[in-house]
């Protein structure tokens, strides 16, 4: 893992600029372990961590981490979408999450999705910061 004394963002910038794939792998492993808890069921820490890693992975070409974050956010949307951290993601990433959810909609997931949408909508009521998600 990468020591805490080193800035992951600066390291990711350098790795992306120089195309250092091995370093990118080490960065992704560290982010998955420290921030995403290897994508287990959502807890308060990993929900915040995944939502911090998602934009970083998008900007710095950490493709495997990006896909895993997107898959996890889609799977647990009813717990993740009604958070302020999700609502403050860049619009492109919010749109990508929505599109990913639509693409993965099947007859098997339809009931869970409708139920999750109800939970999400109820959680977002009367939250000014949630306007970007509620639309």
The tokens for 52 are 């911090």
- The model's confidence at residue 58, banded by pLDDT at 50, 70 and 90, is very high
Tell me if 109 is assigned to some domain.
Answer: yes
pLDDT of residue 114: 86
Tell me if 1 is assigned to some domain.
Answer: no
Convert the chain into a string of H (helix), E (strand) and C (coil).
Answer: CCCCCCCHHHHHHHHHHHCCHHHHHHHHHHHHHHCCHHHCCCCHHHHHHHHHHHHHHHHCCCHHHHHHHHHHHHHCHHHHCCCHHHHCCCHHHHHHHHHHHHHCCCCCCHHHHHHHHHHHHHHHCCCHHHHHHHC
Tell me if 94 is assigned to some domain.
Answer: yes
> Looking at the 3D structure of the chain, how many domains does it have?
1
- The model's confidence at residue 44, banded by pLDDT at 50, 70 and 90, is very high
Tell me if 2 is assigned to some domain.
Answer: no
- The model's confidence at residue 27, banded by pLDDT at 50, 70 and 90, is very high
Is the pLDDT assigned to residue 124 strictly greater than 80? no
Which range has the worst mean pLDDT, 1-5, 76-80, 94-98?
Answer: 1-5
Is the pLDDT assigned to residue 134 strictly greater than 70? no
- The model's confidence at residue 116, banded by pLDDT at 50, 70 and 90, is confident
Tell me if 107 is assigned to some domain.
Answer: yes
Residue range of the domain that includes 100: 8-129
What's the predicted TM-score (pTM) here? 0.86
């Amino acid at each position: 893992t990468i020591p805490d004394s080193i800035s992951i963002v600066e390291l990711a910038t350098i790795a992306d600029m120089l195309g250092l794939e091995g370093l990118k792998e080490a960065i992704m492993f560290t982010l998955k372990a420290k921030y995403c808890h290897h994508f287990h069921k959502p807890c308060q820490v990993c929900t915040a961590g995944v939502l911090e890693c998602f934009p970083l992975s998008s900007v710095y070409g950490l493709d495997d981490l990006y896909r895993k974050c997107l898959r996890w956010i889609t799977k647990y949307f009813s717990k993740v979408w009604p958070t302020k951290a999700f609502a403050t993601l860049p619009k492109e990433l919010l749109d990508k999450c929505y599109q990913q959810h639509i693409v993965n909609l099947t007859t098997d997931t339809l009931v869970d999705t409708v139920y999750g949408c109800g939970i999400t909508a109820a959680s977002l009521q009367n939250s000014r910061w949630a306007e970007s998600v509620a639309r």
